[in-house]
Amino acid sequence: MAKILLAEDDDSMRMFLQRALERAGHEVFAVADGADALPVLAEGRFDLLLADIVMPEMDGIELARQTVAIDPRVRVMFITGFAAVALRNRDAARVDAKVLSKPFHLRDLVDEIERTLVA
């Protein structure tokens, strides 16, 4: 399966998603925000960045931009409760990403990850 970097600032959501994605067969490295993700990205190749859009220090959109600059092969997915507002107010056009709005069903997340990885 995929090697996923998960950036989510909500501790309980991050732990829940990490466990669920690992149960689905993925290797997941979870961090609390975009600033924490950059050193992890430097250590190895990831297939997918799964990031919340609204996070402290570095938001998901900026993290995605920097991730793709480091490795353009990394696919990007955003999870957020503020998708419309965050994407409308930021220039996200350079980040080719799928956005899943919270709340979402875990099965939908796993299915969307599979579709994103084969696209």
Query: Does residue 106 surpass a pLDDT of 80?
Result: yes
Query: Does residue 48 surpass a pLDDT of 50?
Result: yes
Q: Residue 46's pLDDT band (boundaries 50, 70, 90)?
A: very high
Average pLDDT over residues 78-86: 68
> Which structural domains are found in the chain, ordered by start?
3-118 (3.40.50.2300)
Radius of gyration of the chain (CA): 13
Total-model pTM: 0.88
Average pLDDT over residues 101-115: 87
